[in-house]
A = this chain, B = another copy of it.
Amino acid sequence: MFKTRLFIPGPTPINPEVQKALSSPMINHRGPEYEALQKEIVENLKKVFKTSNPIIVFPSAGTGGMEAAIVNFLSPGDKVICASIGVFGDRFASIAKAYGAEVVKVDFEWGKAIDPSKLQQALDDNPDAKALLMTHNETSTGVTNDLWAIKEILKEREILWIVDAISSLVAIDLPTDELGVDVVVGGSQKAFMIPPGLSFLAVSEKALKYAENAQMPRFYFDIKAMLKSMERNQTPYTPALPQLFALREALRQILEEGLDNVQKRHKQVGETIRRGIKAIGLKIFADEKFASNTVTAIYNPEGVDVRKLRSFLREKFGVVLAGGQGAIQNTVFRIGHLGYVDVIDALTVLSALEIGLKVLGYPVELGKGVKAGEEFIAEEVQ
């Protein structure tokens, strides 16, 4: 493969400055240099999460952050409602079950967002539920839930609101404090534009109260130990230094570009992809009103072996797309478009896809998807 062009929903491409930061020499993680590093990162993460709550950084995959978001706040036998719209909603439920929670799973049709009235009913039916687990942006279906609609139905309820925002944070607005989300989970290899290896947890005061009595067993993901160390800008165990060096650089870049601009860029990229895909004649899996600006799931083109299509694009053009997951593994393929990505990248993946479809016999008019994308971009940049 001559060039690699990653269009998967994480790991995402990383930019040259972040790459350089990754190669920084090791430092003593118990020394003052480390403390300054952690201090800056936590301060800047708060700006990105739009919160004054403490933010914890774990050396883990995003799934570790999801585990931390459960085990620190609940006890075995606690009832939790898990609103799922796809693979990662299901994963949240699985973690809660593994630790002995009584999970009331509220499933929504894949491709759709959470229906607030159905969720409201579940909340009404389960007044003893301790927590609501949900996904902000479902990576498997390319759907973004409307957190404002959820906030509306949570009004006046005591329930702890726990949101997996791994594939949305940075790219899609999530004003933690304004929404009042109690626990927000993030991951490094998404719109943070750095490699996998870190998860983030923003924790509200209310969540910290829950933490006092939470009986689920934990050690690695224990936030109390973390928060205690963090008072001295330290960690209870060894931090993943390369990712932290990269994160410091990436956060500086994100704040320099401006969070609003970063989100506008993702919106434009998402729109370019969607217009192009539709012009090509393919069908987007997500309900358009809730289509994600970070990942697009597309119905497999009729008559085309989509594994062949993905292999072709990877081998000939280095364009790497993602397959389907879970129940829609053989129904869709996916384009990830988050992080170090812009509208020109969106045109790149559209043009490669058009050629791939053509070569594999799908009736596509070459250039049509790119044209639709270009028309949108030409309007936007004027």
How far does the Cβ of A362 sit from chain B's closest Cβ, in whole Å? Answer: 12
**Is residue A229 contacting chain B, with contact meaning CB distance below 8 A?**
no
Select one of B257, B347, B370 contacting A2, CB under 8 A. Answer: B257
How far does the alpha carbon of A372 sit from the alpha carbon of B370 in the complex, in Å? 12
**Is residue A15 contacting chain B, with contact meaning CB distance below 8 A?**
yes
A355 / chain B contacts, CB cutoff of 8 Å = 374, 377-378, 381
Within 8 A of B (CB), among A1-31: 2-3, 5, 15-16, 19, 23
A381 and B367: CB pair below 8 A? no
How far does the Cβ of A351 sit from chain B's closest Cβ, in whole Å? Answer: 4
**Is residue A342 contacting chain B, with contact meaning CB distance below 8 A?**
yes
How far does the alpha carbon of A319 sit from the alpha carbon of B381 in the complex, in Å? 14
A interface bracket (residues with beta carbon within 8 Å of B): 35 or more
Chain B residue nearest in CB terms to A368: B367
Within 8 A of B (CB), among A341-382: 342-345, 347-348, 351-352, 354-355, 358-359, 366-368, 370-375, 377-378, 381-382
A351 and B370: CB pair below 8 A? yes
Chain B residue nearest in CB terms to A313: B344
How far does the Cβ of A112 sit from chain B's closest Cβ, in whole Å? Answer: 32
A374 / chain B contacts, CB cutoff of 8 Å = 351, 354-355, 358, 366-367, 370
**Is residue A316 contacting chain B, with contact meaning CB distance below 8 A?**
yes
Chain B residue nearest in CB terms to A15: B3
How far does the alpha carbon of A367 sit from the alpha carbon of B381 in the complex, in Å? 17
For this chain, the copies found in one complex come to 2
B340 and A3: CB pair below 8 A? yes
A2 / chain B contacts, CB cutoff of 8 Å = 257, 265, 342
A3 and B317: CB pair below 8 A? no
A3 and B368: CB pair below 8 A? no
Select one of B3, B342, B344 contacting A351, CB under 8 A. Answer: B344
Q: Given A355-B381, A378-B358, check contact A344 B317 (CB 8 Å).
A: yes
**Is residue A318 contacting chain B, with contact meaning CB distance below 8 A?**
yes
A344 and B378: CB pair below 8 A? no
A257 / chain B contacts, CB cutoff of 8 Å = 2
A367 and B358: CB pair below 8 A? no
Chain B residue nearest in CB terms to A369: B367
Task: Determine chain A's interface SS by DSSP, over half rule.
Answer: helix
How far does the Cβ of A20 sit from chain B's closest Cβ, in whole Å? Answer: 9
B359 and A366: CB pair below 8 A? no
Within 8 A of B (CB), among A210-263: 257
A265 / chain B contacts, CB cutoff of 8 Å = 2
Chain B residue nearest in CB terms to A316: B381
A354 / chain B contacts, CB cutoff of 8 Å = 374
A348 / chain B contacts, CB cutoff of 8 Å = 344, 347-348, 351
How far does the Cβ of A83 sit from chain B's closest Cβ, in whole Å? Answer: 35
B352 and A378: CB pair below 8 A? no
A352 and B359: CB pair below 8 A? no
B359 and A378: CB pair below 8 A? yes
B342 and A3: CB pair below 8 A? yes
B359 and A382: CB pair below 8 A? yes
Known: A318-B342, A351-B373. 11 other contacts (CB 8 A): A3-B345, A5-B344, A19-B19, A316-B381, A319-B344, A347-B351, A348-B351, A351-B370, A358-B374, A366-B374, A367-B372
A-B contact pairs, 9 of them (CB 8 A): A3-B345, A16-B19, A344-B348, A347-B351, A348-B348, A348-B351, A355-B381, A359-B378, A370-B370
List residues of chain A with CB under 8 Å of any chain B CB: 2-3, 5, 15-16, 19, 23, 257, 265, 316-319, 340, 342-345, 347-348, 351-352, 354-355, 358-359, 366-368, 370-375, 377-378, 381-382
Complex A-B, nearest 3 residue pairs according to Cβ-Cβ distance, in ascending order: A367-B371, A366-B374, A367-B367
